[in-house]
Amino acid sequence: MTAIARFARNTLGRDFAVGDIHGAFGALKVALDAIGFDSATDRLFSVGDLVDRGPDSAQVVAWLDLPWFHAICGNHDFMAWRSALGRPFEPVDHAAHGGAWLRDLPVAERRRIGERLRALPMAFEVETSGGVVGMVHADFPSDDWRDLSAIDWRALDNIDSIASQCLWSIERHQRRYRGVVRNIRAVVHGHMTIPAMETLGNVHFIDTGGWHPSGRFTFLELGELKAFTGPGPEREPANARRNR
């Protein structure tokens, strides 16, 4: 596991962050086409929860092999790799939360997926024209991004640890806390499914349920910090709608 993965500025195209995918890679592809995503120059950064619930979870390794697709670990990815490698996360029943798909795979395939998910970084830092944008799956329990380097990611087994809060917490959103995270341009989270992207201080919540039949994917373009939405439940590759 890599704690933090850092990316230099994309000088050829655009960078987008996307909310939870949850095995809906087919719907994601339709949404990317709708916003005019160009895989030759653009990059896509997932804020985690690649698997569970949707129909395409077993495609996760193929997506992780794409040179323009990058992902951090979400709580479902964490549960999936623990289950796949025979070390289930005891506090939560993974199968009951969308993880039953793993049982239908051959042992070797389960292990391959588990190893790839275990290797996901816990956070991203992406350089943009306006400064660095940070990404952590669920929450960042500090007002100073520099505190990220002090997190002990080995403590993920402890559901009350700061590391686990980054995967599971909804406190900032729940409290409607608008404090600015210092020493970072913006922070991006997924995890909590909401009807439309919300921004509290400089923290953006972008999981708008693209994995769900009634939701749609939100893409946050990191250069201008502007959000685009893909097609809704009809999954038609219509023109993207920009959030204003």
pTM: 0.93
Taking the domains of the chain in order of start, what are their residue ranges?
A: 4-242
* CA–CA distance, 81 with 156 (Å, rounded to integer): 13
What distance lies between CA 45 and its chain's CA centroid?
7
* CA–CA distance, 235 with 28 (Å, rounded to integer): 9
**pLDDT for res 237:** 39
Place of tokens 């097609």: 231
Residue-by-residue pLDDT tens, the chain, 244 positions: 679 999 999 999 999 999 999 999 999 999 999 999 999 999 999 999 999 999 999 999 999 999 999 999 999 999 999 999 999 999 999 999 999 999 999 999 999 999 999 999 999 999 999 999 999 999 999 999 999 999 999 999 999 999 999 999 999 999 999 999 999 999 999 999 999 999 999 999 999 999 999 999 999 999 999 999 988 655 443 333 333 2
What is the enclosing helix (H) or strand (E) of 37?
A: none
Residue from 70, 56, 61 nearest 24 by CA: 56
Q: What is the DSSP string of 174-211?
A: HHT--PPPBTSSEEEE-SS--SS-EEETTEEE----TT
* CA–CA distance, 128 with 15 (Å, rounded to integer): 9
**pLDDT for res 231:** 86
**pLDDT for res 241:** 37
CATH number of 4-242: 3.60.21.10
